């Protein structure tokens, strides 16, 4: 039973069906690993030992009766920005350290309906703002591949816990790369679905027009298992897409023969690490050998994505985070003297530096006299970027490139250089602006650290992305590589 | 639009709108951060967007309307269990003068 | 002394009549215990999202059609950002650049009978704020967010009004219109209609607008008139003493009958509007607009015209009777059953409204539904006047009985109380003769030409018949007996 944590969801479901072990045993195995290994990684903010075991027992009973839902008894973790009823949902912030969510996010309900066991809530950059997980009130997360490296962010806890074998799969959210970049840094598979494919109800907002939750898993097939449950229209989210959810698990087994994959020239710029360039091109060749047709494709406005993003996301965040005022929930400063004192001290003490910085930039970009030149301009650029993709998808079915310009960098390396940190998202951010689906999968290693390959698809083509990724994972074993934890 | 120089006054004005206290010692730090981020952002000012409609949302769909029905029950007790300060069902704040 | 011209524009917030809130499924009922109708969305909890109530669009479109406005086929919600304890999200969802209703105008009738056209700039949908209670919490303020998210239509006028009277006439018209259309219940005591008055003055004959002040949250027509008049006087005093008007938001204090600057809400706040990213643009079709139009009731102006035409009423009576849909319907039933529009108008105006006024009732659907006297019964009563069964005087007695619920059917009451009018000359002649015989002096004076004494004789006969004599018949008999 010692290697249970190396099994994929697909394998575990077979084993559970064959009574090789129970969900209680599986869950206890994970809880035991978390207890032993997570103090060195810090991937969890909250561990739900007793509720998880109780839930696993209930799922074992359901499985006995044969009335079990598809993911019955599979232990997963949720990023701590996703509301879980009766459980602290902190968004990695002091502001919400005392916030016990009174409701479940829709995606939590959907995964619960699918039978998952929730092990706990994972660490993250505060309010999903960051690319290194160093902006958490609960401290940084160490990359399981090498302790002095960051796991990426903002879903750094989910990625690290997966890489360390501390959950079978996890949820994340991706506003500018926050699923894909940590997936790349930690050597796991992370899918950002089409904007609106997964309901945002109960997912604490950072930037409403960019935020999208998605699965983080060991394989594309496992990601398909989770997405199958998470995707769908939600009447509570006006921006969710009212389209039927396809059978992703059926789709992934299709052939990639004849699919046109465009290699994005702008993503192989001077800032890209050589090992990553080599690994990603090798991966492209692998896909070609499986029948895909490679070509070059251009996204000419790529360089404008980061500037536009760092107006739009802070602007929306400045407004979304106004509700944290110390009145109805969350952190309240001691002995406020006036309403203004209550607001200012609660917010100043409750938010961390990066969050405050983005609120300030966003407030500025929306303020009188600057709105046109900043916010409106950024929204126009957003359309240009979206058009780039539309034109590219007239020529190809998928766009391929690296997920990140480098492998996991050192803890503390970029904390004093905000802009260098922002540039981490150079290949991932345009996808959010256009609302497209994209996946990061392991495609190599450099000096013992994982390399991520990004594939971008057309709107609602999650099934196709998972198929290409799954095909690649049938022909490679980078996704099966795990850091040695000595256990 | 010429590049913005983020002055202390601008930091304080923006902090006021954001209802944040910035300690005197931190003002220059925020000014420097904002200056760098805005310099990054200002690269977009060179792009010609004269005929481009702003894009607020990646979804082209239109808003669905909800039936006019009461679907939310009273959950005051549950919501106020996590409130900083309440009395008699009210949320309490320091006295507000209109 | 300088002559000043007063320039007034009004922003009227009317609460829309819906079961649930504009962006959530919480109830909009008035008067619930604090925060029992504030759901997670209204409270601005983390992770919640708004949805849009379909009925607010029906109401807004109906209002737009009612003032001849353009209805935007695409409308967009925006966020208006500001911190205030009764604004739980730190922003209000409203419509800035692309509201649902644009333009339109209303004609209001002033006291001197003249008609003034007021242009409407726009009307947009938005959410109401909660309420702050300053009194009871040991120096703290209590926040009740039940009202947060109640749908509002904000109706913004052009600065077309030149006096408090015009402003009140306009506000009354809007109140009547939204009530007519069922857009709002119009109950001002519950804050269903609240006015912000933008007031400035300028030297008579000049074009440039003076600096304006905005007096917020005036919730009665009387206060609106007073607040504007106070503000005009104040501005004149400031300018004439060499001062300058500050552009500011002021609050009307009805206890002191004065306006004063608001201290907490900064007047120069930068609201940082931007499109609400949690909602998509709302698209409606011309078919939708046409369907709303089909459902719309007759508007006040059309109803008044029809009353004048069909019932031969004067304009003033028609206006009173058309003041609410319920009263107009009541009147029309009385007229139909009674068979006489003018008589019905008279009785509804004088007797019914007089009685209601004495009991401090306004002619709303609720009060007209609650009173004992049904329109049908009043119509039957008038029919009995017309066919001579009873006199107008006796009818008042029956009216009183019906009003107090002592009777429901006028015919039964007239029969059981023996109130049928005596029109028979054989019955009345001896009584008339008796009265003449008992009052020889008056009889002599009448014969000498003092014909005003007819009233005396009729009165005496009425007294002796307990009011049942047909006065027409009596006066004919008196004349016959005295002059023949």
The answer to whether position A293 is within a domain reads no
Question: Is residue B1 scored above 80 in pLDDT?
Answer: no
The CA distance from A359 to the nearest CA of chain B, in Å, is: 7
Instruction: Please state, rounded to an integer, the average pLDDT across all residues of chain A.
Output: 97
The pLDDT value given to residue C135: 72
Cα–Cα separations (whole angstroms), residue A138 to A31, A34, A64, C101, C338: 20, 16, 40, 49, 81
Question: Is residue C40 scored above 70 in pLDDT?
Answer: yes
- The residue of B18, B33, B83, B85 whose CB has the most chain A CBs within 10 angstroms, and thus the best one to mutate to test that interface, is B18
Tokens describing residue C96: 């800035």
Q: Taking a C-beta distance cutoff of 8 angstroms, is the pair C434, C469 a contact? A: no
Among residues C24, C96, C44, the alpha carbon closest in space to that of A320 is found at C44
**Residue C63 C-beta-side C-alpha neighbours within 13 Å:** 35
Pairing relation of β-strands C52-53 and C70-71? unpaired
Number of domains in chain A: 1
3-state secondary structure at position C302: helix
Mean pLDDT, residues A129-151: 97
Closest residue in C to A102 (Cα) is: C40
Among residues C8, C7, C10, C6, the alpha carbon closest in space to that of C157 is found at C10
Q: How would DSSP label each residue in A140-198?
A: ---BTTBTTB---SSSHHHHHHHHTTS-SEEEEE-SSSTTHHHHHHHT-EEEEPPTTTB
Query: What is the CATH number for A175?
Result: 3.90.1300.10
Mean pLDDT, residues A364-375: 94
Question: Is residue A2 scored above 80 in pLDDT?
Answer: no
Q: Which segments of A378-459 are extended strands (E)?
A: 398-402, 438-446, 449-456
Interface contact B68-C20, CB threshold 8 A: yes
Question: Is residue C1 scored above 80 in pLDDT?
Answer: no
Among residues C151, C146, C88, the alpha carbon closest in space to that of C123 is found at C151
The pLDDT value given to residue C393: 83
| Element (DSSP H or E) covering residue A64 | helix A49-65
The answer to whether position A264 is within a domain reads no
Q: Taking a C-beta distance cutoff of 8 angstroms, is the pair A160, A41 a contact? A: yes
pLDDT tens column, C443-469: 888 888 888 888 888 888 888 888 788
Closest residue in A to B23 (Cα) is: A348
ipTM (interface predicted TM): 0.96
Q: Can you name the residues that pair with C74 across neighbouring β-strands?
A: C283
Write the residue in C44, C89, C270 that is nearest to A367 by C-beta: C270
What's the burial of A429, exposed, middle or buried (CB within 10 Å: 0-12/13-18/19+)?
Answer: buried
In the block, which residue shows the tokens 């969900």?
Answer: A23
Q: List, in order, residues 6 or more apart from A218 with CB less than 8 Å away.
A: A8, A9, A162, A168, A169, A188, A189, A479, A480
Domain that holds residue A153: 4-255+436-480
3-state secondary structure at position C161: strand
pLDDT tens column, A220-234: 999 999 999 999 999
Question: Is residue A320 scored above 80 in pLDDT?
Answer: yes
* Residues of A carrying an active site annotation: 79, 154, 178
The pLDDT value given to residue C267: 44
The answer to whether position A359 is within a domain reads no
The pLDDT value given to residue C264: 52
Instruction: Please state, rounded to an integer, the average pLDDT across all residues of chain C.
Output: 92
Q: Taking a C-beta distance cutoff of 8 angstroms, is the pair C149, C21 a contact? A: yes
Chain B residue numbers with beta carbons less than 8 Å from the beta carbon of A419 are 36-37, 40
- The residue of A88, A366, A380, A457 whose CB has the most chain B CBs within 10 angstroms, and thus the best one to mutate to test that interface, is A380
In the block, which residue shows the tokens 């709105």?
Answer: A371
pLDDT tens column, A415-427: 888 888 898 899 9
The answer to whether position A454 is within a domain reads yes
Question: Is residue C387 scored above 90 in pLDDT?
Answer: no
Mean pLDDT, residues C353-382: 92
CA distance C24 to C49: 9
3-state secondary structure at position C388: coil
Interface contact B76-C38, CB threshold 8 A: yes
| Full set of structural domains in chain C with CATH | 4-288 (no CATH), 298-416 (no CATH), 425-483 (1.10.10.410)
Roughly what angle, to the nearest 10 degrees, separates helices C300-311 and C164-180?
80
Q: Taking a C-beta distance cutoff of 8 angstroms, is the pair A159, A193 a contact? A: no
Q: Could you say which of 1.20.120, 1.10.150, 3.40.50, 1.10.20 is the CATH number of the domain covering B1-46?
A: 1.10.20
In the block, which residue shows the tokens 């001896």?
Answer: C430
Mean pLDDT, residues A361-366: 97
Q: List, in order, residues 6 or more apart from A454 with CB less than 8 Å away.
A: A180, A184, A267, A400, A401, A402, A403, A427, A428, A438, A439, A440
Within C262-340, residue ranges assigned H as helices are: 286-295, 300-311, 315-321, 325-338
Q: Taking a C-beta distance cutoff of 8 angstroms, is the pair A254, A468 a contact? A: no
The pLDDT value given to residue A1: 57
Closest residue in B to A300 (Cα) is: B47
The pLDDT value given to residue C460: 87
What's the burial of B30, exposed, middle or buried (CB within 10 Å: 0-12/13-18/19+)?
Answer: buried
Q: Which segments of C45-192 are extended strands (E)?
A: 52-53, 70-71, 74-75, 78-81, 91-94, 101-102, 105-109, 115-127, 131-137, 140-144, 151-157
Closest residue in B to A318 (Cα) is: B18
Contact residues, A window 348-377, toward C, CB-based 8 Å cutoff: 363, 366-368, 371, 375
Interface contact B61-A347, CB threshold 8 A: no
Interface contact C81-A237, CB threshold 8 A: no
pLDDT band (50, 70, 90) for residue A462:
very high
| Element (DSSP H or E) covering residue A218 | none
Question: Is residue C415 scored above 80 in pLDDT?
Answer: yes
The pLDDT value given to residue B96: 85
Q: Where are the domains positioned within chain B?
A: 1-46
CA distance C213 to C209: 12
pLDDT tens column, C144-190: 999 999 999 999 999 999 999 999 999 999 999 999 999 999 888 88
Write the residue in C36, C45, C277 that is nearest to B74 by C-beta: C36
Q: What is the sign, positive or negative, of the torsion defined by CA atoms of C383, C385, C390, C393?
A: positive
Q: Hey, is the C-beta of C262 within 8 angstroms of any chain B C-beta?
A: yes
3-state secondary structure at position A410: strand
What's the burial of C139, exposed, middle or buried (CB within 10 Å: 0-12/13-18/19+)?
Answer: exposed
């Amino acid at each position: 039973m010692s290697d249970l944590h190396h099994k994929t969801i697909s394998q575990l479901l077979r084993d559970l069906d064959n009574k090789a072990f129970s969900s209680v045993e599986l869950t206890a195995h994970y809880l035991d690993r978390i207890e032993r290994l997570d103090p060195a990684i810090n991937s969890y903010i909250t561990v739900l030992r007793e509720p998880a075991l109780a839930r696993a027992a209930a799922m074992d009973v359901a499985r006995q009766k044969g009335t079990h839902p598809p993911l019955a008894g599979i232990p997963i973790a949720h990023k701590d920005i996703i509301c879980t009823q009766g459980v602290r949902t902190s968004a990695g912030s002091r502001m919400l350290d005392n916030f016990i969510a009174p409701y479940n996010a829709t995606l939590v309900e959907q995964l619960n309906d699918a039978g998952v066991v929730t092990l706990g809530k994972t660490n993250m950059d505060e309010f999903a703002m960051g690319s290194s997980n160093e902006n958490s009130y609960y401290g940084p997360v160490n990359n399981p591949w090498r302790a002095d490296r960051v796991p990426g962010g903002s879903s750094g806890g989910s990625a690290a816990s997966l890489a360390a074998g501390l959950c079978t799969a996890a949820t994340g959210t991706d506003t500018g790369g926050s699923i894909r970049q940590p997936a790349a840094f930690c050597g796991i598979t992370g899918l950002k679905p089409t904007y609106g494919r997964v309901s945002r109800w109960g997912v604490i907002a950072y930037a409403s027009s960019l935020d999208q939750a998605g699965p983080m898993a060991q394989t594309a097939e496992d990601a398909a298992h989770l997405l199958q449950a998470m995707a769908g229209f939600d009447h509570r989210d006006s921006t969710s897409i009212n389209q039927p959810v396809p059978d992703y698990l059926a789709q992934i087994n299709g052939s990639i023969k004849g699919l046109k994959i465009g290699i994005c020239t702008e993503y192989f710029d001077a800032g890209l690490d050589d090992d990553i360039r080599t690994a990603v091109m090798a991966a492209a060749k692998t896909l070609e050998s499986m029948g895909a047709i490679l070509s070059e494709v251009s996204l000419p406005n790529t360089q404008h994505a980061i500037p536009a993003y760092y107006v739009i996301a802070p602007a929306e965040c400045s407004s979304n985070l106004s509700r944290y005022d110390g009145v109805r929930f969350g952190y309240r400063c001691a002995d406020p003297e006036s309403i203004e004192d209550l607001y200012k001290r609660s917010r100043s003490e409750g938010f961390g530096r990066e969050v405050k910085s983005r609120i300030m930039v966003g407030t500025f970009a929306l303020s009188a006299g600057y709105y046109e030149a900043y916010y409106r301009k950024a929204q126009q650029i957003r359309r240009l970027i979206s058009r780039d993709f539309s034109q590219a998808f007239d020529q190809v079915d998928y766009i391929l490139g690296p997920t990140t310009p480098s492998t996991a960098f050192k803890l503390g390396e970029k904390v004093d250089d905000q802009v260098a940190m922002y540039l981490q998202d150079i290949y991932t951010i345009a996808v959010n602006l256009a609302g497209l689906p994209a996946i990061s999968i392991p495609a190599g290693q450099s000096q013992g650290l994982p390399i991520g390959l990004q594939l971008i698809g057309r709107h609602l083509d999650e099934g196709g992305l998972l198929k290409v990724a799954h095909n690649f994972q049938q022909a490679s074993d980078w996704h099966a590589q795990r850091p040695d934890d000595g256990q | 639009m010429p590049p913005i120089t983020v002055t202390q006054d601008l930091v304080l004005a923006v902090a006021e709108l954001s209802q944040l206290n910035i300690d005197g010692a931190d003002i220059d730090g925020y000014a420097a951060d904002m200056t760098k981020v805005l310099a990054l952002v200002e690269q977009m000012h060179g792009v010609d967007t004269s005929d481009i409609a702003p894009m607020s949302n990646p979804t082209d769909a239109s808003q669905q309307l909800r039936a006019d029905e009461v679907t939310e029950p009273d959950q005051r007790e549950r919501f106020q269990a996590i409130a900083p300060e309440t009395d008699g069902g009210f949320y309490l704040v320091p006295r507000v003068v209109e | 002394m300088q002559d000043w011209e007063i320039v007034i524009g009004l922003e009227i917030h009317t609460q829309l009549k819906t079961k649930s809130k504009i962006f959530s499924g919480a109830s909009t009922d008035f008067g619930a215990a604090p925060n029992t109708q504030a759901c997670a969305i209204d409270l601005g909890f983390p992770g919640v999202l708004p949805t849009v109530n379909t009925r607010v669009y029906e109401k807004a479109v109906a209002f737009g059609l009612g003032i001849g406005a353009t209805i935007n086929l695409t409308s967009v919600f925006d966020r208006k950002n500001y911190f205030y304890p009764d604004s739980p999200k730190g922003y209000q969802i409203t419509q800035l650049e692309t509201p649902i209703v644009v333009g339109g105008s209303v004609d209001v009738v002033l006291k001197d009978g003249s008609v003034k056209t007021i242009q409407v700039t726009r009307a947009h949908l938005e959410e109401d704020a909660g309420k702050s209670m300053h009194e009871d919490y040991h120096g703290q303020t209590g926040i009740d967010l039940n009202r947060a998210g109640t749908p509002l239509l904000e109706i913004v006028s052009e600065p077309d009004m030149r006096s408090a009277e015009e402003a009140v006439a306009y506000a009354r018209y809007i109140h009547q219109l939204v009530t007519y259309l069922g857009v709002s219940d119009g109950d001002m005591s519950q804050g269903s209609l609240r006015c912000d008055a933008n007031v400035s003055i300028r030297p008579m004959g000049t074009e440039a607008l003076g600096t304006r002040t905005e007096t917020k949250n005036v919730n009665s027509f009387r206060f609106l008139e007073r607040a504007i008049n106070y503000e005009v006087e104040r501005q004149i005093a400031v300018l004439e003493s060499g001062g300058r008007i500050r552009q500011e938001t002021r609050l009307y204090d009805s206890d002191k009958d004065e306006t004063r600057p608001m201290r907490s809400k900064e007047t120069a706040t930068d609201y940082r509007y931007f499109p609400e990213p949690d909602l998509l643009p709302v698209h409606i079709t011309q078919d939708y607009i046409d369907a709303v139009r089909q459902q719309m009731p007759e508007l006040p102006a059309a109803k008044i015209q029809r009353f004048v035409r069909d019932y031969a009423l004067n304009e003033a009576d028609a206006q009173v009777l058309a003041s609410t849909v319920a009263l107009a319907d009541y009147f029309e039933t009385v007229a139909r059953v009674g068979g006489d529009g003018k008589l019905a108008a008279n009785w509804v105006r004088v007797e019914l409204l007089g009685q209601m006024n004495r009991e401090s009732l306004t002619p709303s659907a609720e009060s007209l539904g609650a009173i004992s006297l049904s329109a049908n019964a009043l119509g039957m009563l008038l029919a009995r006047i017309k066919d001579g069964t009873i006199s107008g005087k006796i009818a008042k007695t029956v009216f009183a009985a019906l009003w107090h619920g002592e009777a429901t059917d006028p015919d039964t009451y007239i029969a059981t109380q023996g109130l049928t009018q005596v029109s028979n000359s054989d019955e009345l002649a001896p009584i008339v003769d008796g009265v003449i015989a008992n009052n020889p002096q008056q009889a002599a004076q009448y014969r000498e030409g003092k014909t005003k004494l007819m009233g005396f004789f009729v009165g005496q006969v009425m007294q002796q018949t307990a009011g049942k004599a047909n006065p027409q018949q009596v006066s004919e008999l008196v004349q016959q007996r005295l002059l023949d």
